[in-house]
Structure formats: structure tokens, C-alpha cells
Structure 1
Amino acid sequence: MTALSRYRPHNVLREQRADGTILLRSGDALGPVADRTGDWLHQWAEAAPERVFLAERSGPGWRELSYRTVLQKVRAVAAALLGRGLGPQTPIMILSGNGADHGILSLAGQYAGIPVVPVAEQYALIPGAHGRLRHAMELIGPKLAYTVDAGPYGEALALDVFEGVEIVSSRPGRSGATPFSDLLKGAGGVDVEAAFAAVTPESVVKILMTSGSTSSPKGVMTTQRMMCANQAMLAESLPFLRDRPPRIVDWLPWNHVFGGSHNFNMMLANGGSLYIDDGKPVKGLFGRTVENLGLISGTALFNVPVGFSMMLEAMRKDDHLRKMVLSDLDMLFYAGASLPQEVWSGFEQMAMETRGEVPLMTSSWGLTETAPATMIQQEPTERSGVVGVPMAGVTVKLVPEEDARFEVRVKGPNIMPGYFRAPEKTAEAFDDEGFFITGDAMSFVAPDDANMGMRFEGRISEDFKLTSGTWVRAGQLRLEVLACLGPLASDLVITGADRDEIGVMIFPDLAALEVAGYETAEQEGALQDPKLLAAIHRCLAERARAMSGSSSRIARAMVLAEPPSMPEGEMTAKGNLNFRKVLSRRAELLERLYAPQDPCVARI
């Protein structure tokens, strides 16, 4: 049976209020929900004790850990943590990226009711980002912190915020850190069963830091109910997850909700196998991803659009990789941004050529605060950019905006109880009906048919007005312009607030520029290359001819010489731009963009 014959059709119930507000729900009931993630671990350790749950690279192959082995290790580490006096009020900070020990420690905390707080490893490894790490440490106040290798993290661990915090490391070296192997020895006299029994669906067992793209990062309190309900929703939407155990080779970081809750728990809830990809879709590391994908064939493939673009190019050159990636695939799932249509079409064509059918190509929508999946495109579609319909158990509230857009608010068992130690921010996050205010905007694919799904239209906070009073929907416009510029731009910022025209400040893909033969010269923060500016002019001018009105027409463009800086707050650990920070830090370049004449500005 193929993935295409096993999808669940959309079944949306729509309620229209007199004020124009729309409520959307799924007509499908939410099935049984586990109480705790530890229940899944026990279930599969009994039903499939030797099946691989977690695996990481070791030499030419993999270090594979079965469900039975993971359960044994989780219970031992849980005992060691409890023996140290840790509990619900003493969270654990995890500084390192994905790894088997990281996964065991996280599950042990959840098993014993001790919140785990995974943060971006860049916060510790990049000295300029230590301010973000300090903020997280001061907010959380952990008693124990874990790092896979104490050596590279030494400078961060020497910060005063780690005074009195026990440091645990899988490779402690001479740092004086507690070896992770000590935790695996457990602790005598500790009643692990009683601690596990005391964990309830309401227990907060994970705190995830928001990206901080609009304010200081907040700690999202994540409960057992949120994570367990979200997996029940996903299984209702994607029945093939229950037909056979899923298997993924995945790099997405566990300090993000996509990789650490959505993907990790999808494997655990359905008795699947997670092979940890130690590569990334960036120059210098993508080769490792290609190697890993060539070793293990997955049933689901998760990535961000740039990763799928790089993967498509690699598969065009490598028959073995193409067969390994596509031969057993039920689902290709993108998130983080809209997948360029040419990449979507490329995968469709390659799948047909390789296996004679196309797997379910889909996306979802959600936030850290929503565990995350809240809406999903659960039936096949021919286009990218559709985020789908509400999942079972969720109510989506659509508050009308201008231009057929809606502000999105949500309610359901997957929504957070609040932000950690931030009651005022928590109160601001919910409306008077208890709906979480997401700040995102959406529109219907077909206004008269909710089952066709919805399109993401950007963050409402990114919108601005021109001096003419015309609203610019900057979030959606950014996605459109990125698609227009193709490989020339890695990201960009839309400008024009309180000005006469819309502009764009482009962060280039320097590798793509080099391949294309552009000879760029820097002039005080901007790139000056007549050929490059002419290429950008052609792209945007062609787009402008198809546009009507000033709300989406780009009038000027500049290519920035310096990439976005994480230490300066221009980029979050998730790779998202902090638009306000970019514009404030590069205020002089912004003024040059709107100057009458500048050799680094393309006028369209």
C-alpha cells in the first residue's frame, strides 16, 4: 500500500461569527493520548525490545541503541538525577547538539519529572553569543548542565553563571566535569518507579527557548500532555505512521521544537528509529549528510527548504543516493519556510522516475508554544506553500484583517500553559477566550472551501506602512522576492517603513555568486558589481511588470557584504533574521539604499 492511498482526507468544520471571525475544527475525533513519553518507551521496550530507537555515527557505521537498552539507560540516569536531589524545580540545561547521550538525558528528565532545557550549541561555542547563554542560565537557574565534549565548551563553562552548577560531559577530558558514564551507574536507594508514577500529563518536563527574533528569548513550558497530544494528532493525520514503524535520518536540532519534539517524539510514539545525522545543509557539513543518507533508507524525510534544494542537486548527480532517499519514502516534509516550487517539482519528477509514484509531499504549521504541529496538509496537493487544515483536537480562530488575510489564534491540548517565570508575558499571549495569539497571518487557498487549506502570509508584526498610507505585507513579500531572486539570495530584509518606496537589503549566497562568476567588490558594507546589480534588476523588474500597486513593488535593492551576525543579534539560533536588529545595526546602509544615487543600489 502506497503513501498516496493511505492519506486522511481533510474534514474541516467551519463556523462563521457575526463579526467576521471564523472558527475551524477538524471533523475527525482525536484518538487516545498517552499520559507520558515514558509510556511510549515502556510500550516499545516490551513490544519490540531489539528494534533500533536511537543511532549515531561511530566510525564507518552506526552506534545503534535498542528500545530495551534506551529504557535501561534512561531509568539509570533518572535514578542518578533523583539521587542528586533534582526535581520539578531544578531544571537541567543541555548545551550540546544532537546525540545519543543527549537523547537519553532528555528522556531521563522527562521520566523523572525534571524539566530539561536544550539550548542552541552556538550560544556556548560562539563567544559573541554568550549573552544569549547568560540570559538562558539566569532565567532557568539549572543545577546541572550537560555538554557532549567539555573541551570546546570550556570558555562558556567558565562564565560566572555556571558557578555551583554540576557539569556533566560525555567527554570530560581534564575539565573536572562529571563523566556521563557516572550517571549511567544510577543511584542506590532511589525509588524511580515512584518518581515516574508522580509524573502527570500536566507535568512540565521540557522548557524550550523561543528564537528571540522580536524580543529576548522566552522559555516555553512544555508539558507531557502537549507532546503526547501532538503525536496523537499527527498519527490521526498521517495514518501510515501506524502502519509500519517510521525511520528517519535527521539533523534538525533538538533545541528546536521541530527536531526535538516533533521528529524525536514521532519516532518514539510510533516505535520508529531515529538515525542522528551529524551533517547540516551548510557548506562543509552537507557532505556528511549525503554520506549518512547513503547508508540508511528512511520512510520519512524532514528538512528546511535550503536543505531540500541541496539534496535535490546531490541526488541528480548520485544514483545510489537517489535510490536510498526515495525508494522507501512515505513522506517528504518541509518546514521553516515555503519550499520553492521548482524544488517541489524536481522531487516529484525524480520520485516518478525512481519509483513510479510520489510520496506525500507536505508541510505543517505551528510554533514552539504549540508543541508544534497545529495545522497540516494531510492530503496530496500540487503546490508548495500550503500549511493545511486544523488537526484533530485543535480549534483555529481566524480574526479578519485586510486583504482577505486573517490573524491566527489557536486552542487545544497541544498549547503551552505559559512562559517560564513570565506571568505578564503569559497573560499577554492569550485572548479573553483562552486562544493563544500566534501573531501569524494566513489566507484561504479557496475562500469558499476550507478543505483546500490555508497559506501562511507572514508575521503581522513585520507589516508596515509607506508614507502614502499603503500597507506592505512584508512577511509574504519577503518569501515572494526570495523565490524571485533564486540562488542569488540566501535571505533578505524588506524595507520602506515611513518611506515612499519599498526596498530590499539582500544577504547573498556567496558560494552561488562565485559559481556564477560575479566579481564582487565591497564598498563600505555593500557589494558593488554592475553585473550582479543588473541581474537583480532584471529579476525584480520582470516581477514589477506583473505587479499592480505600490504595496508589493520593489523599487530599489542593495546587496550586503557582511552576513547576518548572531553575536550582534541579527540572526537567531534557528537561522531566522531579526529584521529590526538588521535595520538598526545597518542604519547607514539603509540610508544609502534610499539615497538619490549610490553605485551599490539597483533602481527598479
Structure 2
Amino acid sequence: MSPLLPALRTADRKEALRFGEHSLTYAELAGAAGALAGRLAGAGRVAVWATPSPETVVGVVAALLAGVPAVPLNPKTGERELAHILADSAPTAVLAAPDASLPPALEALTRIDVRTTAEPGAELPAAEPEPDPASPAFVVYTSGTTGPPKGAVLPRRAVAVTLDALAEVWAWTDRDVLVHGLPLFHVHGLILGVLGPLRRGGSVRHLGRFSVEGVARELSAGATMLFGVPTMYHRIAESLDTDRELAKALAGARLLVSGSAALPVHDHRRIEAATGRTVIERYGMTETLMNTSVRVDGEPRPGTVGVPLPGVELRLADESDGIGEIQVRGPHLFTGYLNRPEATAAAFTEDGWFRTGDMASLDADGYVRIVGRRATDLIKSGGYKIGAGEIENALLDHPAVREAAVTGEPDADLGERIVAWVVAADPQAPPTAKELAAHVAAQLSPHKRPRTVRFLQALPRNDMGKIMKRALGNG
């Protein structure tokens, strides 16, 4: 297997990454990460305090060079959850920027300050045999929606094959410059958003913190790609009506990619109408990295997440009414949950397919339409199997609705009733429940209309912008 990051071996003076005013060339990244890698050899697992900073990138790259599994830590994690992750993963050290303030839970670990500069003349260590492709590159913790977070062990092979598959379907090359403002403790922001450009030999510009202004600035200054989550694209869509510079910047981008949750069709349409560009969606999760994507040369189809990536096998299990659970198989999968053999076994079928828990339908030509999670987004009402996502898209088409989420709750007559959680465009003049029910019935069908509508000031979301439906009290 070739090195995960072959461009580091060229000692190129091309810019590899930029965070604000702080940038590193490939030669500088190689020097800083190479110097640190020498200190990490044989260290076992190491934690990385994953702030949106160049130090995080240097620390992760150093761990990869040393063949040491990295455990990215979300700096916003609460004390109890952090203690669980540390006890479960048992890292020997924590890598952090010198000025980072670490919580007490990390005091027992050896702290290694990450520098973005190396001693004069520092170079990458002499090329060593690439670690076994099956050896772990990362232990990334899941969101813990059904119990304490589980550590998904991601092998080097999964990282490489996923990034190479995306390079094929997105025509991703060393000429691309990616801009994003995603957190670096998750696979979207770290593996796709940082290691993706570095594996291609391109560049990444991280905004530090997402802003519409930052997106416009970087896309106007030579960036070719944008990665974001639906919350970010929603903010972009809302700004396009009045921000001509933003529209011009987006129109000039080669590729706009959204992931981590479904992008509402309404926002797809608003962005395309203002810029002439379509947003490509892809589908993945921590345990599988990426499974599907719309191809850059394929038909844009809002509401779908495209077709399986090269090397990915996908099927729908227990299908009825055209909807089934997505199950996948291939070299992109994790090797298991750390210290959880029972959970690992339960995650796979007897014939080796991973159970994603996501429900979907397949178009005739293989495009995947996700209707939601089995636990929270599949509603069985009046004998019908209904996906929450299509109702949410219908609600978002109503001009008086800014945000919407749909859940089910027990109903003596229907089994489950459809509940809409709505943020009104004008909180002083919200639409009526009857009006929204009639709108959905006209757009979809009467049995898919919400029976209950509850208004909120804002929907609860996690750091990746996903709506936390369990926090709504249903599902």
C-alpha cells in the first residue's frame, strides 16, 4: 500500500493548509509532523485535542506517520463523556497546541505540545515500510445517542479507499483548494476535509469558525471546493438574496458538497436559482466513512445522496413499501468498536453486511433516497411506513417556515401520529397547524400530514449541525 500522504515526501513549497493568517507548506508540514512523529513511535494510542487549528493537523499527521492510532477529542465534550472516552481508549498522551487549556480529565496523561515549526533542517524520517493497511489510523467516537459513545476503529485502508473513491467521483485533484469550517474531531471535517486535500496534494483553507463572509472571501480568492453541513448551506441560502458577492463566489466554485445530514430540497433550489450551481450530497457515517455520492459528472438530483462509491456494495434489507434499511459492505468499513465485541457483532449481519440503521429507497437507476433513521425518522402511521424527511422538505417549501423537524409519537388510533416541530419565518405571525397540515397533504398525500404542530424558537442541533430529535422528546 502506498503512503497515506505521499505529497509529504516531496518537501514541496506549495501551501498545504491555512488557518486564518497561519499557513504551512508541504515542506513545513512534513518537517513539523516528522519531528513529532519521532517522539510518538511506539506510544500506543494518542489523544488529539482537536481544536480548529494547524496544531491539530500537525498532531494527526504525525500520528499517521508514526503508525500510532489517533483519538480526536471534541473540546466541547462534557466531563462525564470525556472521562468515558479516555477510560475506554486509554491513550498514553494528549497532543495539543501549546496555548490550549485542557480540562482536569486530561491531567493524568502526558501532554505533548504540538509545534507547527521544526528545528532548522528537520526532515521527514527516512521512509519506513507503510504500516499494515488493516492497522488502525483513528478511533473516532460516535455521538452516543443510544448509550455511551462507542469508539469506531478506522483502519488506514478505509481512509485511503474512501478518499480515492471520492477523488474519482468528484474529479478531485492536486489543483483543488478546499474551504471549510467544520470541526476537526469528526470524519467529515478531519478525514474528508483535511486528509482529503493532503492525500491529493492539494490545499485546504479552514475558516476556524464558519461564516458566510469567510466562504465568500476564500472562494473569491482561488478556492475551488466547499464542504459544509445543511445548517451552513441554509445560512448561505438565506444570505444569497442580498449578497451578490457571495452568489458570484459560489458560482465560480468547482464543487459544493453537503453532508452529515440531508440538505432540504428548498435550500437546494434557492442556491441553484441564485448561483446556477447545484450542491452535491454524499452519505456516510463514522463506522463506514463514505458510502454514496452524486458524481460531479452525474445528474444532480436534490433529495438523493447519489449512487454507491466505487468499491462499496449497498443493499436495502427488510424492504417493504419501497423502503428498507441500508446495509453496506466493502474495504471502507471500520474494523469494530473498541472494547465492544458484542456491539461489533450486533452491527453486522451473519453474511458480513454492516447495518447502518438508515432507511432509504432506491430509484430505478440506483440513486439512494434516505428517509431517515430507523429509530427516529421512520414513522408507522395508519398502516403506512412514512419517512420524516419528505414531510420536512414539504414543510420547508411553505414560505412561513424557516426550519422544520418531524417525529412520531404514540397514538391509540394510528399507532403513531406525525408531529411537526416548526420554527416560523416570522415568530410574530406563525402559520396555523391547519394551514401546514393542508400544505403537506396537497404536496404529498393526506396520510402524511402532521396531526400535531409545535412551534419552537430554534431546533436543537449538535456540533455538526444535525437536528437532535431525541431532544425534542420523541423518537
Counterpart position of 2:114: 180
Counterpart position of 2:71: 117
Is 2:50–2:56's contact at 8 Å kept on the other side of the alignment?
yes
Counterpart position of 1:70: 29
SS in 2 for 1:434: coil
Is 1:143–1:164's contact at 8 Å kept on the other side of the alignment?
no
Is 1:279–1:287's contact at 8 Å kept on the other side of the alignment?
no
User: In the aligned structure 1, how far is the partner of 2:237 from the partner of 2:403?
Assistant: 17
The structure 2 residue matched to 1:544, chosen from 433, 438, 441, is 441
User: In the aligned structure 2, how far is the partner of 1:101 from the partner of 1:259?
Assistant: 15
Counterpart position of 1:556: 452
Greater per-residue helix proportion: 1
Is 1:408–1:440's contact at 8 Å kept on the other side of the alignment?
yes
Q: Return the offset for 1:547.
A: 4.7
After TM superposition, the score normalised by the length of structure 2 is: 0.88
Q: Does 1:211 align with 2:160?
A: no
Counterpart position of 1:428: 346
The structure 2 residue matched to 1:496, chosen from 401, 404, 409, is 409
What letter matches 1:495 in structure 2? G
The structure 2 residue matched to 1:415, chosen from 333, 341, 359, is 333
Distance 1:537 1:293, change over 3 A: farther
Counterpart position of 2:227: 302
Distance 1:290 1:263, change over 3 A: closer
Distance 1:476 1:270, change over 3 A: same
The structure 1 residue matched to 2:111, chosen from 125, 148, 167, is 167
Counterpart position of 2:421: 506
Is 2:263–2:303's contact at 8 Å kept on the other side of the alignment?
yes
Distance 1:577 1:313, change over 3 A: closer
Q: What runs of 5+ residues in structure 2 fail to find an aligned partner?
A: none
User: Structure 1 vs Structure 2: percent identity of aligned residues?
Assistant: 23
Q: Does 1:158 align with 2:54?
A: no
SS in 1 for 2:38: helix
What letter matches 1:142 in structure 2? P
Is 2:322–2:361's contact at 8 Å kept on the other side of the alignment?
yes
User: In the aligned structure 2, how far is the partner of 1:198 from the partner of 1:309?
Assistant: 42
Is 2:396–2:403's contact at 8 Å kept on the other side of the alignment?
no
What letter matches 2:76 in structure 1? Q
Distance 1:192 1:375, change over 3 A: same
Alignment of 1:525-544 (within 5 A): 531-532=429-430, 534-544=431-441
Alignment of 1:35-434 (within 5 A): 35-42=2-9, 45=10, 49-58=12-21, 63-82=22-41, 86=43, 90-123=44-77, 129-148=78-97, 150=99, 153-154=101-102, 157-159=103-105, 162-168=106-112, 179-181=113-115, 184=118, 192-193=125-126, 196-197=128-129, 199-239=131-171, 241-242=172-173, 245-280=175-210, 286=211, 289-290=214-215, 292-293=217-218, 296-327=221-252, 329-352=253-276, 358=277, 361-370=279-288, 372-378=289-295, 379-434=297-352
Q: Return the offset for 1:380.
A: 3.5
Task: Please identify the structure whose Cα radius of gyration is greater.
Answer: 1
Q: Looking at both structures, which has the greater relative contact order when contacts are Cα pairs under 8 Å and sequence separation is at least 6?
A: 1
What letter matches 1:298 in structure 2? A
What letter matches 2:75 in structure 1? E
Deviation sequence 1:117-148 (CA, Å, 0-9, x none): 1122221xxxxx32222221121111222344
After TM superposition, the score normalised by the length of structure 1 is: 0.71
User: In the aligned structure 1, how far is the partner of 2:350 from the partner of 2:404?
Assistant: 37
User: In the aligned structure 2, how far is the partner of 1:210 from the partner of 1:111?
Assistant: 25
Counterpart position of 1:576: 466
Deviation sequence 1:56-95 (CA, Å, 0-9, x none): 112xxxx22111111111110101223xx51xxx322223
Alignment of 1:456-475 (within 5 A): 456-462=370-376, 463-466=378-381, 470-475=383-388
- How many residue pairs get matched? 470
What letter matches 1:377 in structure 2? V
What letter matches 1:412 in structure 2? G
What letter matches 1:132 in structure 2? E
